[in-house]
Amino acid sequence: MFGLFKKRTPKRPRLVGIQYRALYEAPHDGGKPYIYTWDLPEEPQVGGRVFVRGSSGKSVPAVIVDLNASRPEGYTWDELAPVFRYASDEELEKAQRKAERQADKELRDEQAWLNMARRAAGLPTPGRARKTVPDGYQELPPTDGDSAPSTAGRYGNVWWRASKIATRLGRPAEEVETYATIARRWYAIRDGNDGRESS
């Protein structure tokens, strides 16, 4: 009689792959997702915003990127942490407003830095340009002069960056070309092609 009863294999939880991302951040391409167990009553959805246990042990936001994840090699089932919950609509709306404010700030900072570049390059600049460089942007180097090749290369990179940002923001062609010309002048010094005679 005992042979009629077989020991049942324990039911394993569903696994999902996630990326640690703020609620307003899009998933990034590439990289292996982190694997978590899914025991929530709702169905998981790719792109779903959830909260999971982070490396510090605290609840952190994440986004679901894989619904067919497998248990990572070297981990037991008991070592896999569960997804805590879906983000609420209120949390998502708050995150969206934060993202919009951040995007507005970034655009204002870009425009402000380009206006500082216009003034430094001798181009007409409407209004008052900032005196302090926004966070994440370099101080604007000279437009001409002389320097060591390594320094000239750094100067050229800053002005080339200005030309690329100006292009992306649809600034006038004259402005874009002015920055690019300054950058090329510094690159010529970097490369020793500026026409100076070596002593």
Spatial neighbors of 3 by CB under 8 A, at least 6 apart, are none
Residue 88 CA to residue 94 CA, distance in Å, equals 10
Write down the domain spans for the chain: 12-86, 105-191
pLDDT at 5: 53
Q: Is the pLDDT of residue 59 over 90?
A: yes
pLDDT tens for each residue of 105-133: 999 999 999 999 999 999 998 877 778 99
Q: Is the pLDDT of residue 198 over 80?
A: no
Q: Is the pLDDT of residue 199 over 50?
A: no
Mean of the per-residue pLDDT values of the chain: 90
